[in-house]
Structure 1
Amino acid sequence: MILVTGATGTVGGHVVRLLTERGVPFRAMSRRERPGGVRADFDDPASLTRAVADVDTVFLVTVPPAPTADHDIALITAALAAGVRKIVKLSAIGSGERFDGATVGAWHLAAEEAIEASGLVWTMLRPPSFASNFLWYRALIQAGETIPNLVGASRQAVVDPRDVAAVAVAAMTSDAHDGQRYDLTGPELLTFADQAAILERVLERPVKITDTSALDQLPTGMITGIGWARAGGAAYITDHVPRVLGRPAGTFEQWARDHRERFAAMP
Structure 2
Amino acid sequence: MVAMILVTGATGTIGSEVVRQLVARGEKVRALTRDPERAELPPGVEAARGHHRDVGSVAAAMAGVDCAFLVGVFGPEDRESDRGMAEAARAAGVRRIVKLSAIMAGDPRTGLGGIAHGRGEEAVRESGLEWVILRPSVFASNTLSWAEALRSGEPVPNMLGSGRQGVVDPRDVAEIAVAALVGPGHVGRTYTLTGPETLSPQDQAAALAEVLGGPVELRDLTPSQTRELLVASGWSEESAEGMLRSVRFVAEGGNAVVTGDVEEVLGRPARTYRQWAEDHKEAFGGG
Contiguous gaps of at least 5 residues in structure 1:
none
User: Is structure 2 residue 117 aligned with structure 1 residue 87?
Assistant: no
Alignment RMSD, CA only? 1.9
Mapped partners of 2:89, 2:34: distance in 1: 18
Instruction: Please name the residue that 2:149 is paired with.
Output: 140
Q: Is the 8 A contact 2:73 2:117 kept in 1?
A: no
In 2 relative to 1, CA 63–114 (structure 1 residues): closer, same or farther, beyond 3 Å? closer
> Mean alpha-carbon deviation: is it higher for 61-70 or for 118-127?
61-70
Structure 2 counterpart of 1:250: 271
1:33 — aligned with what? 36
Whichever residue aligns with residue 278 of structure 2, its letter is: R
Change (3 A) 1:118 1:188: same
Could you tell me how far 1:107 is from its partner in structure 2?
0.2
* 1:84 partner amino acid: V
SS, match of residue 134 in structure 1: helix
Of residues 208-217 and 15-24 in structure 1, the stretch that sits farther from structure 2 once superposed is 208-217
Scaled by the length of structure 1, the TM-score of the pair is 0.93
SS at match of 1:29: strand
Q: How many residues align?
A: 264
Structure with a larger share of its residues in helix: 2
Give the match for residue 15 of structure 2. 12
Amino acid at match of 1:38: A
Counterpart among 44, 55, 70 of residue 54 in structure 2: 44
Deviates most, 172-181 or 66-75: 66-75
CA change 1:213–1:179 in 2 (3 A) is: farther
Q: Which residue in 2 is equivalent to 1:201?
A: 210
* CA–CA distance in structure 2, aligned partners of residues 43 and 17 of structure 1: 24
Percent of pairs identical after alignment? 47
Per-residue CA deviations over 1:214-256 (Å, capped at 9, x if unaligned) read 3434613333222221121111210000000000100000100
Contact 2:73/2:82 (<8 A) preserved: no
In structure 2, distance between residues paired with 1:116 and 1:65: 21
Letter in 2 for 1:143: S
Partners of 1:62 and 1:71 within 8 A in 2: yes
Structure 1 residues 90 and 147: alpha-carbon distance in aligned structure 2, compared to 1, 3 A threshold: same
Match of 1:11, SS state, is: helix
Distance 2:267 2:159 in 1: 33
Match 2:284 to one of 222, 243, 263? 263
Which stretches in structure 2 are left out of the alignment for 5+ residues? none
Describe how 1:1-267 pairs up with structure 2 within 5 A. Answer: 1-34=4-37, 36-99=46-109, 105-214=114-223, 215-216=226-227, 217=231, 219=239, 220-264=241-285
